[in-house]
Amino acid sequence: MSNTEANKSIEKKPSKKATKSIAFSTVIMIIGLFFSKGSSFLRNILVARVFDSTYRDAFIAAFLIPDFFFALLVGGSIQSAITPTLSRAIEKKEVKKTWRGVSVFITWMSLILLVAIGLGEIFSGYLYKIFYQGDNPEVVRLAGNMARTLYPQIFFMMLAALCIGVLNAYKKFGSTAFGPTIYNIGVLVAIFFLGASNPSSLYMTGIGILAAAMLFFIFQLYMGRREVIHFKPSLNTHDPEFKKLFRLAVPILISASIVQLNMLLLNSFASRFDEGSIYALNNASTLWQLPYGIFAVGIGNVMLPSLAQFYSAKQYKESSDLLSRSIKNALFLTIPCAGIFLILRVDLVKAVYQWSASYTDENAELAALFLIGYCASIVIQSVIFILNQAFYAIENTRFPLFAGIVSMAVNFGLCYLFVELGMGPMSITIAYSISCAVRMVLLAAVYRMHKKLAPRKIRVFLIKSAVCLLVMMAGLFLISKLPFTPSRKIIHLAWFGGQCIIGFVLYFVTAFLLRMEELQTAYNKYIRRFFKKKAATH
């Protein structure tokens, strides 16, 4: 083989340094997401302490439509279209040309978003009347009024998301990992100092949250100042790079909005149940998204730019290996969490949210009821997120949209059927998990048609993981039947924490006995390597 061919062969193999970088970046991203999700838990705890039942529902509902606007116009496009597009441009050394198209796209999105914000301000009350199916008009009035302070924050969240998407394309994950935590801290400060159960205080809390979004943007702009400098405002829709990006981004924009539409559907159906159901559903939603949002999102976001570069360089084996590792590593960490959440659901809700008498046992039991249906979503949505990222990396954005539309239709149909049959609150989250399973099957079946890119050795991994999960759940079930009821909060936290530790030990010991590669990978690539690198910096 000639020297030129040998060099090409070497170039096609990702270096050990690159593999280490992905592993370390994943750890940084997971730590950042842990703090972000942890601070969002504190937000829900504060909401329970500061607001009464009506104002809790209004506070949660106020975010739903602004969040939908954000998801529809911004949320998915920045991370899932711009990030891989810039990653491919970096690989091909076409950054300047690609930035022209990105600049046009962002300019138009900003203008459209400003128009949407104006419409939201005008029609806020009407939008909430359409959404809310309950019999408490006060919730509609309060939510619509507070939402007027939240629509402008969408613009600053969009700008912050732009900075994060760009930095992720340049693989500067350390600069993006902790921005959301800063925003959540600002939200906590606003709730603590401004919140109370009266209309003016609820409105002022929204103003404080708007200020938190502005601070979030300023922080991310500073972190990405060297990369974002390439942005030049432009309305040139004839730019070929813009046209290419637009074709990729529009399906992602719509697909991202489906997530929020599903949340709107669930909250709409939850409003048919007793007062406090919207808040309880939000509690359960926040809980199940903790392991999913930390592990799956962290691993998937780090995978995306590297997978896009491998695909652009036609390194198909490396693409398949990276996707396989990402799916298995994410599931290896989220599967035991799903088991713990199912068996210890009431203890989990009480441990996280019950810090005062205002959060009753009935509140906890209702949230735990919703959580039962959500447990499967922890695992299923982890696969969906990573497969979606894989589709975006190979420039196929249309099929994830189709799969999302099908799942939303299934979700609506099942929610309507279950509620009409009187199956109770848990039925709507079960409907959501079933619809997610349909979406996952569609995505997996189509992606596997790309035989060179398809993930490998998943079936054996799933069988071994199922055995580990069953052992863990059996052990936790037996422990939960012990006749012990903690009388104080600190004892309850210790008891719950002890059960979680036992559960993870059972899971990981079983994985060790089954010789699961993912256990060794988790230790070598994430834990040991992280602490080695940390030690080297001191």
- pLDDT tens for 36-51 read 777 777 887 788 889 9
Supply the pLDDT for residue 302: 86
Averaged over 168-197, what is the pLDDT? 89
Model pLDDT, residue 522: 63
Question: To 5 degrees, how large is the angle CA 188–CA 286–CA 465?
Answer: 140
Asked if 373 and 427 touch (Cβ cutoff 8 Å), the reply is yes
Are 295 and 333 a contacting pair, CB within 8 Å?
yes
Q: How many CA atoms lie within 13 A of 224 on its CB side?
A: 28
Spatial distance between the Cα atoms of 12 and 518, rounded to a whole number of angstroms: 25
pLDDT band at 19 (very low <50, low <70, confident <90, very high): low
pLDDT of 518: 81
pLDDT band at 71, cuts 50/70/90? confident
Side chain identity, residue 155: F
Residue 418: pLDDT band by 50, 70, 90 thresholds? very high
- pLDDT recorded at residue 134: 61
> Is residue 478's pLDDT more than 60?
yes
d(CA 298, CA 286): 16
Under DSSP, the state recorded for 294 is: I
Looking at residue 250, its pLDDT comes to 82
- pLDDT at residue number 8: 42
pLDDT band for 538, please (50, 70, 90 cuts): very low
Q: Is the pLDDT of residue 215 over 50?
A: yes
Task: Report the share of the chain in percent with pLDDT over 90.
Answer: 49
Closest CA to 295 of 499, 517, 509, 526: 526
CA distance 469 to 171: 34
pLDDT of residue 259: 79
pLDDT number for residue 373: 94
Average pLDDT over residues 251-257: 79
Six token digits for residue 191: 């709730």
On the 0-12 / 13-18 / 19+ scale of CB atoms within 10 A, 288 is buried
Q: What is the pTM of this model?
A: 0.77
Lowest mean pLDDT among 51-55, 73-77, 160-164: 73-77
**Does pLDDT of 236 surpass 90?**
yes
Distances (CA, A) of 93 to 89, 98, 164, 180, 333: 6, 10, 21, 31, 36
What does the block give as tokens for 397?
């954005």
Mind listing the pLDDT tens digit for each residue in 289-346?
889 988 898 898 889 888 988 998 889 999 999 999 999 999 999 999 999 999 999 9
The tokens of 89 are what? 């441009």
The reported pLDDT for the residue numbered 77 is 59
CA 13/CA 7 separation, integer angstroms: 10
Q: Can you state the percent helix, strand and coil of the chain, rounding each to 5?
A: 85, 0, 15
Cβ–Cβ < 8 Å for 228, 167: no
Per residue in 357-396, pLDDT tens?
888 889 999 999 999 999 999 999 999 999 999 999 998 9
> Exposure string (b/e) for 116-135, b if CB count within 10 Å is 16 or more?
bbeebeeebeebbeebbebe
- Structural contact between residues 61 and 128, judged by C-beta atoms closer than 8 angstroms: yes
User: What does the alpha-carbon distance between residue 272 and residue 61 come to, in Å, rounded to a whole number?
Assistant: 14
Over 90: is that where the pLDDT of 282 sits? no
More confident residue, 132 or 493: 493
Using pLDDT thresholds of 50, 70 and 90, give the confidence band for residue 524.
Answer: low
Asked whether residue 90 carries a pLDDT value surpassing 80, the answer given is: yes
Q: Tell me the C-alpha to C-alpha distance, in Å, between residue 370 and each of 46, 60, 140.
A: 21, 16, 23
Mean pLDDT of the 179-191 span:
92
Mean pLDDT value across residues 222-244 = 91
Nearest Cα residue to 34 out of 212, 214, 289: 289
When the pLDDT of each residue in the chain is averaged and rounded to a whole number, the result is 86
State residue 533's pLDDT score: 47
- 479, exposed or middle or buried, with CB in 10 Å at 0-12, 13-18, 19+? middle
